[in-house]
Structure 1
């Protein structure tokens, strides 16, 4: 099997045409016509991840976040991005990213968050593009039965393996309607509010965003990485329907750059 065949599987699930205008999803470096040895799945490409691929003989890295986001004017050892590109090219490793195109498909990043929380009666939080395709950012759905607010928050913290979780005071004794969005979802807060969600779970809220709740909705900021960490599972499920599980491996590197005391 060739690398381009693996890429085709990802793009069939999350077509590149769905990526946001600012994004840089797709093939970032390498030759897709090479024969595949094995695949390494990750959220971010770092030097440690590239070294992991070299050590274990993976010649394709599939990440959620693009290694190259804006154009490179030179390729020197000056930054970790450039060092990763140099190392990948030197060792014939292809790097591919599925970012906002994987965010907007219904069974993508936010869909996986909804799976983890067992949400029912789901709808897209912020529809995008052709509404008939059912794509957009975030998911809103319902718990099968209401859960006491702080008990649900503790469940969220455990489910997403959060070292810390920032949240606003509960405005209701229990949670039933839940909105989620992988990554930086603060811009969709008003959509969660308009859809009468009891809680909105996402990442990267600013300090003043928390004032917007005005005792109408609860915000839970679980962290950017934490909200997207299960994207690797989606990649794995897509690929192992077609190729051996032995050829697809999860990176063992925790690439979350944020640490907590």
Structure 2
């Protein structure tokens, strides 16, 4: 993006173009948590959790935007007592004008998000959604443009999420024709003169746009279009896109033993310890991965995988799964910290002049001896 005073809102708008809040589960609390989007961004800190140590880190980095995976405010607070740990955190955030934004289950679900990162770190192949919740939906956007500006408008559309169909990018259909119009006395036409009928060689550009990107694509198209009044149409289409949902399943590049996979999980997720259940020497190949707490989906994992990797497993559920023949690897909830670097990298590509920091604070509450 061009060098200018960037608002926190600009950063969030760009982030949400990849990770829209509408993907979040209905029970989730994502988006703005504390602060305002209407201030110049001095720096960004990405983190798994928002603790007082993380806020101190943001202050030291002069970062006034914290993007977290776990919401600081998950349920509506009944009071704000600044003598409590959470109250002190919120007080410090407000005192230093630091905004907190959370992307939780939407970051789990989105393509390239937490669950893809966890699956990709293990090299899983033939990857698919573990718990499908629906399919991507599209709109058809049609716009009429003078031939001289065809490429400018197409570039604007493609840069803002339009024209991506399956494994293909920058997909469009273009047909040629004539546009007719007569500007009135109040108009300031790009082509023609007030009171005179004009005929212009135009092209009709048609693109598919994921529903969550429609507003952004339309705004970019209008900005790139030379006309004072832009003629465009938006239609619903019945075509379904990729499935979306929690978790991923896939196959390891080659079978390995359960203990080898457990050690690989520990290394690739950069965590201190893992727990596993099953025969350590058992050969495993198909894997289900679900970041965070996935103990409610053991039955689904039994149907789809040799081994299920997820956090927060409890004794009896794990015992029952083992008796059913499912191997389990529990890397803990903190394994989701894999998202910190990805979010930072994504933002840095668009905001080269904004300092983007990855939190170095370990927010894992567990220690193992």
User: Normalising to structure 2: TM-score of the pair?
Assistant: 0.67
| Per-residue deviation, residues 154-173 of structure 1 (Å, max 9, x unmatched) | 22222223333221123873
For residue 288 of structure 2, give the secondary structure of its aligned residue in structure 1.
Answer: strand
Q: Secondary structure at the match of 1:89?
A: helix
Out of 306, 312, 321, which is 1:198 matched to?
A: 306
1:31 deviates by 1.5
- Please report how far the alpha carbon of residue 246 of structure 1 lies from its aligned counterpart in structure 2 after TM superposition: 6.0
C-alpha contact (below 8 Å) 2:259/2:280 kept by paired residues: no
Task: Confirm whether residue 34 of structure 1 aligns to residue 35 of structure 2.
Answer: no
Q: Contact (CA 8 Å) 1:106, 1:136: kept in 2 or not? A: no
| Cα distance change of structure 1 residues 245 and 234 upon mapping to structure 2, 3 Å threshold | farther
Partner of residue 86, structure 1: 91
Structure 2 unaligned regions, length at least 5: 1-5, 137-240
Question: Comparing 119-128 with 102-111, which one deviates more in the overlay?
Answer: 102-111
2:213 aligned with 1:208, yes or no? no
Q: Which residue of 2 aligns with 1:66?
A: 71
Secondary structure at the counterpart of residue 94 of structure 2: helix
Matching residue within 114, 126, 132 for 2:131: 126
| 2:257–2:280 CA contact under 8 A, matched in 1 | no
Which among 43, 52, 61 is matched to residue 56 of structure 1? 61
Residue among 101, 105, 108 paired with 1:96: 101
CA 152–247 in structure 1, closer or farther in 2 if over 3 Å, else same: same
Give the superposition deviation at 1:79: 2.1
CA offsets, 1:218-238, max 9 Å, x none?
001110112x01111221122
* 1:106-165 Cα deviation digits (max 9, x unpaired): 321110001110001001000113364421110000111111232222222222233332
Q: Once superposed, which parts of structure 1, at least 4 consecutive aligned residues long, lie more than 3 Å away?
A: 129-133
Tell me which of 36, 44, 49 is aligned to 2:49: 44
Comparing 80-89 with 30-39, greater Cα deviation is found at 80-89
Q: Deviations over 1:196-254 (max 9, x none)?
A: x111001001101112222522001110112x011112211220120127610011111
- Counterpart in the other structure of 1:188: 297
TM-score (norm 1): 0.94
Task: State how far apart, in whole Å, the 2-side matches of 1:75 and 1:149 are.
Answer: 47
After the TM superposition, which of the residue ranges 82-91 and 245-254 deviates more from structure 2? 245-254
Q: CA deviation at 1:86?
A: 1.0
TM-align CA RMSD: 1.7
Report the counterpart of residue 251 of structure 2 in structure 1. Answer: 142
Count of aligned pairs between the two proteins: 259
Equivalent-residue separation in structure 2 for 1:44 and 1:4 (angstroms): 21
Structure 2: how far apart are the matches of 1:118 and 1:212?
Answer: 28
Instruction: Pick the structure with greater CA Rg.
Output: 2
